[in-house]
Structure 1
């Protein structure tokens, strides 16, 4: 019997407890009891299905507390490695989902609260891989002896998340290995408590990818230097008979083979040792990977050659040949392919590196009226930044003094600088162009917009597309199948092949092992996602989920919210018609008093109009938002209702007297606002929201792509139709209440298929979640952005068309990669097995097989990198 405690989110009463218990106990074999005070559910079952538990709780209207872990996996070389790591992680109790990406070497795990990072690390290590730790380097000053070192190490290890701390007295440096993200300020505080000073080292050591490239380069050069004489000695004799005679005469056949044995042994022991350290244990665990294929293939050629060299009497007459050159050259060629892969993988993450490079390393803060430069890690919320012309802004904040133009192209993709003045917000990484600014910091570190962008891009790059599921299923069985085919090839040639059959059997079996590398299959999708999402970020389009890349190019219709999306979202008051004998200024003052309590853009337009006329604001009490209808409040003893015509109808007020005026305003794309005072219709106001300059071009761009365009709005039918006519929108759904937007999306899905919805407000969040692809405008609310799959960092609507174009380009790139990877293996495995030999006399040398295998991965990576050259197809788009 298995037991688990689940943390339930959202329960507030006894009926909630009953609903959760009922939902859980409906699962076969599950017994559950729920405690409202601790918000925990005690669950018992013979076999726990965590996904089923989560679905049951969600169906009851609640959710489980879920932890997310990001692990850097070391040692993966192919798609079968990915499958093994995922399988190992999913076996850990409490894990709901595990996604592993070969290109980024990242694992993203979602698990229930009881699951710990240590359990995940153990599972990965048991599968034959390792998890890289995050390293932080500090400069320590004040140490004088070994006891100082011990005190600093002890202090650092007290910080939660620190796995290991090593302090060097000579270099005055501390290297801290962490299990998860650790606040560097906490580390520095601990060192100071121990009596020393510490600061973050700005010049970070070479990162792991660069180290990997350097190690591969060293091994590759050594392998080439050692393999070249082996290749010349053996193959030179086959290609040039005169050279063969020279070797036999001056060196001797036996000495030549001994020299080849020494050189090949050095290759396998040193540059090639990684294939055996990883491949053979994987083979013992019955989970062979690409390293296993190389290890078995090269060891077979090497062992056969050793027997031919030292014990030739054990082999049949005529089959005493050596294949040292095959083992040596195969190792060198595969190292060459992996070196190219490592370099290309480094280039796929250039977008992330570029974003990281936007963060300045130092900041100038105001202290006692003076500018003091400090490391960026020491900047804290509330500090005052002094930003000179040409400097990058170090943290998110609000301008207190000064005005300037700020280049925010890193955020929005828009080339034009934005005018900023006192009261405006600025973001870290943007460039102050021509004025001096004093900025109060309101977000630092991982809380800045730039850090969130980087996190979103990394998250999208580490997720999988639906198309990847099929590939995973195939590649999981690919290596074992290849080893089986290699064995069949060996037996077939040995039993039925021409003499020397044993030599033929060995050569062809090794060729099959080497040619069938599934690396290209494993890299086909993630590399394209990495480059595509990175390029999108540079254009101001953030894919929060990699899956959106595939779904977006399937969209048949794009539905837009109106206010703040197609329009500026900054409406202005254009008309005011009195119905009751009120003074216009007094009425506007009363209405503005109520509207000041609302965050709606139309409310702001009325408030701005009152401010411009110099009206003194009144105080409103008992304010209440009437969702979908309007607002109400009491001002100076008068009860005001302000909102759409349906609010007046709800109050049983007759609006026929103003019907024609309202219709005229609607035809002119003006929104009518009805005002009732003390239960009587008092006035109507007209507010116009200008259409964004980019909206018409965006609609036309979508039409060019063969996509239908719809508009869903809570605005009046007349106003909506006027906007739709001006923009040539195909379908209009007007007067839709917030909850009705979800129904509208569902209607479009039934008629068209996949629907993308573009919105920016809080009331758009449910529709963004319901749509197949939710696209939030980055200038909108946080809730809308969180609910979306794609974020446009600027308000330019042409970014929608560019996001769809990039989606098409990325999916086409993935299809090209997959075609190459699958077609390549399908075509060359039969050739390597020697099936062409009976008719055409063609055999594939293991060396050529290794070269072709390396070429396959390099082609896939190079093809993915072409996406970096993707251009915004529609001018002026983000």
Structure 2
């Protein structure tokens, strides 16, 4: 049977396609949908209810399907439009990209063009929230930290989630100000001669007005502070909200009792008019100012996540896939490894891959930190999120989803931003004792003023005790480290420096010895074969080339690819070897038909009992003294020739090493290469020392020896063969292009694989640690100065007292000042 329906809500061909595809997912349905007119011609095997069709469409967008009348009029009542179904853990974007790469946390319509928002295919996990001061706290929904009471923030920040929190706080702040301002005016009017308000009604009635106006502030806009204070007392995780809750709560409750039962108070608590002093203005102004501080913190805290947000925006939502010669736009999650993708000029590269056809220049600034576009040709790697230049090319997909470098960078930045630096332990320990001490100081302040203060002594005692509680907020102390770490990690990510945790940042500042590998670290890591020489009448150079290529076809060593490229250039075919084995730090062995092949250094030759003829040894030594790498080739345990491979030293290596040495760091090279080659490289770069023919276990042992001497050692290598040494070092630094970085074994990863990155990492570490110390000085110094002033230390000499309201304002801005100081790191030169 066939039926024609009207479909409302379609605004473009994309909508038409989505509706058509959605209807065709229903079993037994074949649908054709047109945009003009907006109709769906459905052929179905059995009758399907309109309600079921509506349910299916509503799950995909804001579409309404309805039947046509027999005359073609569309007067039948439309089925009720159901709200779009939210997909758990997804974000949404406009398919027309009206607002660029902006995403939303709920389905709905684009505010610009009105189109249905579609779920982002790059996000597929439940949002998590954490505390900026206690990263060990992880929750599934927004709320308060159970330890310190601060607002939880998204672990993977989305602009809309932060906007919702900020907008909610701003709305409450506006309401709070609207009710607090009249209270403040009423209270301050007492300072006006012949107070005009008293001509309207008596002070006692104005106190009741203040009470009424304070109720929305205390029980709605700022009630969250009392909830946090109560939880902190129950769990004994005393924090800033403990002090705020006690201070403002005591002031408000005191005032309520003063209204209800004024006769229980001594005369010292009463005004000349006979009413008891009330502190509704102090309580509400304090709470409103603290709320203002929360708004400023939320706004400033959002800026500290800007690096992660920028990285998140790099990931495109779609790509152009080539199938059977035809190009089709698909979602990112529809891409599989090996797929061919078309990247047009100016587009973002969707996934990690290799250029298959064409060439272009790629802007990799957000990944490597280098502003100059890089020329890429066939065979070169391209990275997701980087921007194509003015040429189109076809790429083959190598890595997708969480495997891409961009996904790894985002994960590392998020993890590092939430980690704790060792220096933070001191701040945490101080905070643990801080609140009880402040409460004690507040009690002592009350007692001293009550005994020795001028009349009304109890009023002075109350005011100063409250000021002590309010001004001594430890929030700034707790924020000192995590804010600097978050901004510093983001700064590093934008410069191609991926930091695993905050501890790595702190340790990097203390490094005095740097161990570097040669291949791929000092050198370009793109070795090429200079020559393959045969010393056998039985085997020609072409024969050796084929045998060497056959051995290296199964090897992942950087030198292996050079020999394969050499064989390819000479159009030499080779067969597959059997019993292949890679012997770490020595070379490779395998069987080819009846021949036992071995390719490697002198250690490998000694291991297989292959004697090296003197003439071959002499030629090899000559090449090695020039800084070239030479591998012996043995057939049936007889050395018959060798291959000479050269790897150029990076142009930036010497300058970077000199910079590190100027900063007092001893730079040494540990390489598996031979003595002559290592010596030549060391002399060229003026290294502080080197060790040659080092196996992974030897590097590990040497690092242990240096550490036993009290040295703080950083190790930089390719992150794969050097994994044991990277893990043993105080700081492991993985070098590479970023597509095969050893995240697990290294604390710092340099995307570009350049020694300049180490110098930048050292500079970044210095800036971050200095910033943390500045923050701690701000926070501790502020409290050390503020508490005595609040207690009234200046009163005997200068007659000055600190109002609790001023204390609240200063307390709020102390936290913001720490965040603002941390944000300065974004402009630091590294």
Match of 2:223 in 1: 273
What CA distance in whole angstroms lies between the structure 2 residues aligned with 1:624 and 1:202? Answer: 45
Q: In 2 relative to 1, CA 169–518 (structure 1 residues): closer, same or farther, beyond 3 Å?
A: farther
Q: In 2 relative to 1, CA 603–425 (structure 1 residues): closer, same or farther, beyond 3 Å?
A: closer
* Match runs of 1:197-236 below 5 Å: 200-201=118-119, 207-236=160-189
Match of 1:175 in 2: 86
TM-score by length of 1: 0.75
1:150, CA displacement in angstroms? 12
Which is higher, the Rg of structure 1 or of structure 2?
2
Match of 2:600 in 1: 643
1:860, CA displacement in angstroms? 0.2
What CA distance in whole angstroms lies between the structure 1 residues aligned with 2:82 and 2:649? Answer: 62
1:337, CA displacement in angstroms? 1.0
Q: In 2 relative to 1, CA 631–484 (structure 1 residues): closer, same or farther, beyond 3 Å?
A: same
1:772, CA displacement in angstroms? 0.6
Q: 1:633 is matched with which residue: 587, 590, 599?
A: 590
1:537, CA displacement in angstroms? 0.4
1:826, CA displacement in angstroms? 1.8
What CA distance in whole angstroms lies between the structure 2 residues aligned with 1:824 and 1:635? Answer: 76
1:592, CA displacement in angstroms? 3.1
What CA distance in whole angstroms lies between the structure 2 residues aligned with 1:790 and 1:148? Answer: 53
Unaligned runs of at least 5 residues, structure 2: 1-17, 24-48, 60-78, 93-115, 124-157, 271-276
Match of 1:738 in 2: 696
* Match runs of 1:121-160 below 5 Å: none
1:840, CA displacement in angstroms? 3.8
> Which range moves more in the overlay, 247-256 or 537-546?
247-256
What CA distance in whole angstroms lies between the structure 1 residues aligned with 2:563 and 2:697? Answer: 26
Alignment partner of 1:364 is 2:339: no
Q: Work out whether residues 238 and 432 of structure 2, in 8 Å CA contact, stay in contact via their aligned partners in 1.
A: no
Q: Work out whether residues 610 and 637 of structure 2, in 8 Å CA contact, stay in contact via their aligned partners in 1.
A: no
TM-score by length of 2: 0.79
Q: In 2 relative to 1, CA 759–585 (structure 1 residues): closer, same or farther, beyond 3 Å?
A: same
Alignment partner of 1:306 is 2:253: no
1:468, CA displacement in angstroms? 1.3
Q: In 2 relative to 1, CA 395–646 (structure 1 residues): closer, same or farther, beyond 3 Å?
A: closer
1:851, CA displacement in angstroms? 1.1
Q: 2:730 is matched with which residue: 772, 786, 790?
A: 772
Q: Work out whether residues 141 and 172 of structure 1, in 8 Å CA contact, stay in contact via their aligned partners in 2.
A: no
Match of 1:697 in 2: 655
Q: 2:625 is matched with which residue: 659, 667, 671?
A: 667
1:294-347, Cα deviation, whole Å (9 max, x unpaired): 222112222222333443322211422222221121112111111110001100
What CA distance in whole angstroms lies between the structure 2 residues aligned with 1:780 and 1:148? Answer: 48
What CA distance in whole angstroms lies between the structure 1 residues aligned with 2:527 and 2:323? Answer: 42
Q: Work out whether residues 759 and 784 of structure 1, in 8 Å CA contact, stay in contact via their aligned partners in 2.
A: no
What CA distance in whole angstroms lies between the structure 1 residues aligned with 2:738 and 2:347? Answer: 27
Q: In 2 relative to 1, CA 284–557 (structure 1 residues): closer, same or farther, beyond 3 Å?
A: closer
Q: Work out whether residues 733 and 744 of structure 1, in 8 Å CA contact, stay in contact via their aligned partners in 2.
A: no
* Match runs of 1:315-334 below 5 Å: 315-320=265-270, 321-334=277-290
What CA distance in whole angstroms lies between the structure 2 residues aligned with 1:298 and 1:780? Answer: 53
Alignment partner of 1:247 is 2:197: yes
Match of 1:533 in 2: 489
Alignment partner of 1:509 is 2:465: yes
Match of 1:400 in 2: 356
Match of 1:818 in 2: 776
1:545, CA displacement in angstroms? 1.9
* Match runs of 1:700-739 below 5 Å: 700-739=658-697
What CA distance in whole angstroms lies between the structure 1 residues aligned with 2:364 and 2:374? Answer: 7
Unaligned runs of at least 5 residues, structure 1: 1-137, 154-167, 183-197, 873-878
* Match runs of 1:373-412 below 5 Å: 373-381=329-337, 383-412=339-368
What CA distance in whole angstroms lies between the structure 2 residues aligned with 1:409 and 1:151? Answer: 42
SS in 2 for 1:207: helix
1:402, CA displacement in angstroms? 2.9
Alignment partner of 1:413 is 2:369: yes
What CA distance in whole angstroms lies between the structure 1 residues aligned with 2:744 and 2:674? Answer: 28
> Which range moves more in the overlay, 787-796 or 617-626?
617-626
Q: In 2 relative to 1, CA 519–635 (structure 1 residues): closer, same or farther, beyond 3 Å?
A: same
Q: 1:590 is matched with which residue: 528, 532, 547?
A: 547
1:335-382, Cα deviation, whole Å (9 max, x unpaired): 111111000110000001101111123333345654333444544555
Q: In 2 relative to 1, CA 778–841 (structure 1 residues): closer, same or farther, beyond 3 Å?
A: same
What CA distance in whole angstroms lies between the structure 1 residues aligned with 2:162 and 2:341? Answer: 34
1:601-653, Cα deviation, whole Å (9 max, x unpaired): 22333333333333332443333323332222333533232211223334161
SS in 2 for 1:499: coil
1:670-702, Cα deviation, whole Å (9 max, x unpaired): 122222233333223322111111111110111
Alignment partner of 1:599 is 2:510: no
Match of 2:715 in 1: 757
Match of 1:687 in 2: 645
Q: 2:516 is matched with which residue: 557, 560, 563?
A: 560
Match of 2:102 in 1: none
Q: How many correspondences in the alignment?
A: 702
What CA distance in whole angstroms lies between the structure 2 residues aligned with 1:795 and 1:690? Answer: 14
Q: 2:232 is matched with which residue: 258, 282, 286?
A: 282
1:595, CA displacement in angstroms? 3.0
What CA distance in whole angstroms lies between the structure 2 residues aligned with 1:199 and 1:846? Answer: 49
Match of 1:293 in 2: 243
Q: 2:767 is matched with which residue: 805, 809, 814?
A: 809
Q: In 2 relative to 1, CA 417–150 (structure 1 residues): closer, same or farther, beyond 3 Å?
A: closer
Match of 2:150 in 1: none
Match of 1:13 in 2: none
1:590, CA displacement in angstroms? 2.9
Q: In 2 relative to 1, CA 278–550 (structure 1 residues): closer, same or farther, beyond 3 Å?
A: same
What CA distance in whole angstroms lies between the structure 2 residues aligned with 1:629 and 1:266? Answer: 77
What CA distance in whole angstroms lies between the structure 2 residues aligned with 1:738 and 1:383? Answer: 37
CA RMSD after TM alignment: 3.0
What CA distance in whole angstroms lies between the structure 2 residues aligned with 1:569 and 1:284? Answer: 59
What CA distance in whole angstroms lies between the structure 2 residues aligned with 1:440 and 1:459? Answer: 30
What CA distance in whole angstroms lies between the structure 2 residues aligned with 1:570 and 1:384? Answer: 26
Q: In 2 relative to 1, CA 399–579 (structure 1 residues): closer, same or farther, beyond 3 Å?
A: closer
Match of 2:15 in 1: none
1:846, CA displacement in angstroms? 0.3
Match of 2:566 in 1: 609
Alignment partner of 1:747 is 2:700: no
Q: 2:753 is matched with which residue: 769, 776, 795?
A: 795
1:815, CA displacement in angstroms? 0.5
1:397-439, Cα deviation, whole Å (9 max, x unpaired): 3443332222222222222333334444333212121222233
Q: Work out whether residues 616 and 641 of structure 2, in 8 Å CA contact, stay in contact via their aligned partners in 1.
A: no
What CA distance in whole angstroms lies between the structure 1 residues aligned with 2:336 and 2:637? Answer: 52
Q: 2:447 is matched with which residue: 491, 494, 507?
A: 491
Match of 1:36 in 2: none
> Which range moves more in the overlay, 314-323 or 521-530?
314-323
SS in 1 for 2:367: helix
Match of 2:4 in 1: none
1:149-181, Cα deviation, whole Å (9 max, x unpaired): 69999xxxxxxxxxxxxxx97453113556x99
> Which range moves more in the overlay, 364-373 or 693-702?
364-373
What CA distance in whole angstroms lies between the structure 2 residues aligned with 1:536 and 1:617? Answer: 45
> Which range moves more in the overlay, 392-401 or 654-663?
654-663
Q: 1:458 is matched with which residue: 414, 418, 421?
A: 414
What CA distance in whole angstroms lies between the structure 2 residues aligned with 1:841 and 1:515? Answer: 19
